[in-house]
Amino acid sequence: MPIVNDHLWYLPHQKKELEVVLRAILEEPDELLRDFFKVSFSTTARRLSLSDLAISVPVRLLPKPHFEALRNQRINERLQWIREADPLVEFIRTAEANIYRVEETNRQYPSRVAAISVGTDARNLRQPMSVNGPLPDRSVHLIVTSPPYGSAQKYIRASSLSLNWLNLAGPDELADLEALSIGREHLSRIRDTDKSPAPLSKAFRNLIKQIEEMNPLRARITQRYLEEMRSAVTEMSRVVEVGGHVVVVIGNNQVCGLALRNDKFLIESFAESGMRLEVNLFDHIKSRGLMTKRNKTASVISRESVLVFVRTA
């Protein structure tokens, strides 16, 4: 199974055993069961990797001289556990835990229904595959979403191991997948030449200009992020019915030391699309996994905004 930089993330004998488990899963004829076990396998494969599980993107777990003795001790204990762990046993343990979660959820919510996909791109919401075509205007009562953070997270890299193991994207396809995503850390040459359908507001144009004076590449990445986020906002606003709500969880961060007010940008964008801000709450991030710097020009995210928008007409 081709895994990006597999020599960094897996001990040879563990990767071989994981491949055996995955082959058995892929032989399951029932598609729903197969997908369920693939999710459990993805979790198992991440746990048995040599990456630091406290960080969202794969970062090699290694003891270091400047770490405290207790931290290095815990790292060495985990590395020893990885060397000795049985992938099949760990997969069964994970699958059984997930089975229990499903049973408990079914027990507490006996009337729940299966999710229905409305496309793979927030900028182009679609009807179910059996119908196809755009999702109708004013047809959705509630949207709850946590969109990407600008210049803050390496989204494709964070999921690269799972994407490879589940054959959703090979190592040589990750760059193409990133080019389709909002909040990416690189710009493809083709998409970078696309023209924005409408200019940004004066405040954000000035911000882009300031960033450009320090780092032209980060300026283009930030501008593209804002433009594509606005496209997603326009599409969400299109499908929300009168009286319907959109709940957005978003964090602010910095680019080249300058504040990127994602919350302010969303409030402006939803207002342009006919949505009124009804509630604005703050939530302090406790997990350190989402606070890793994306690069030297970005900052950590310590607080999120919970924004609730309503369509009034």
Last residue of a domain, one of 63, 93, 108: 108
Q: Residue 297's pLDDT is what?
A: 45
Q: Residue range 231-259: average pLDDT?
A: 93
Do 158 and 281 share a structural domain? yes
Band of pLDDT at residue 190, cut at 50, 70 and 90:
very low
Q: How far apart are the C-alpha atoms of 192 and 225, rounded to whole Å?
A: 11
Tell whether 61 and 157 lie within a shared domain. Answer: no
Q: Is the same domain home to 62 and 191? A: no
**pLDDT, tens digit, for every residue of 205-239?**
999 999 999 999 889 889 989 999 999 999 999 99
Q: Are residues 172 and 262 in the same domain?
A: yes
Position 106 scores a pLDDT of 95
48 and 153 in a single domain? The answer is no
**Is residue 117 situated within a structural domain?**
no
Most confident option among 149-153, 165-169, 182-186, 191-195: 165-169
pLDDT digits (tens, 9 = 90+) for 271-284: 999 999 999 998 77
Indicate the number of domains in the chain.
2
What the block records as the tokens of 198 is: 């409408």
Across 112-211, the runs of DSSP E, i.e. the strands, are 140-145
155 and 285 in a common domain: yes
198 pLDDT higher than 70: no
In a domain, 233, yes or no: yes
How many angstroms separate the Cα of 265 from the Cα of each of 230, 231, 252, 262?
Answer: 8, 12, 10, 5
Are 247 and 160 within one domain?
A: yes
Task: For residue 74, give its domain range.
Answer: 6-108
Rounded Cα distance between 151 and 155, Å, is 10
261 belongs to a structural domain: yes
Banded model confidence at residue 158, pLDDT cuts 50, 70, 90: confident
The predicted-structure confidence for 31-61, as pLDDT tens digits, reads as follows 999 999 999 999 999 999 999 988 888 899 9
Same domain, 151 and 99: no
> Tens digit of pLDDT for each residue in 80-139?
999 999 999 999 999 999 999 999 999 999 999 888 888 889 999 998 876 778 999 999
Place of tokens 């919970």: 306
Residue 289 pLDDT: 46
Do residues 177 and 255 share a domain? yes
Residue 207 burial class via C-beta count within 10 angstroms: exposed 0-12, middle 13-18, buried 19 and up: buried
Residue 298 pairs in a beta bridge with 255
Provide DSSP, 36-93.
Answer: HHHHHHHHHHHHTSSB-TTSSS--B----TTS-HHHHHHHHHHHHHHHH--HHHHHHH
C-alpha Rg value of the chain to the nearest Å: 22
**Contact call for residues 91 and 41 (beta carbons, < 8 A):** yes
Contact 128, 116 (CB under 8 A): yes
Whether 98 and 232 share a structural domain: no
Look at residue 300 in the predicted model and tell me its pLDDT.
53
- The mean predicted confidence, pLDDT, of the chain is 88
Q: Which residues of 53-92 are buried (b: 16+ CB within 10 A; e: fewer)?
A: eeebbbeebeeeeeeeeeeeeebeeeeeebeebebeebbe
Within this chain, do residues 296 and 147 fall inside the same structural domain, yes or no? yes
Dihedral Cα 122, 126, 127, 133, nearest 10 deg: 170
Q: How far is CA 250 from the centre of its chain?
A: 12
Neighbours of 95 (CB within 10 A): 18
CA nearest to 101, candidates 152, 43, 46, 57 = 43
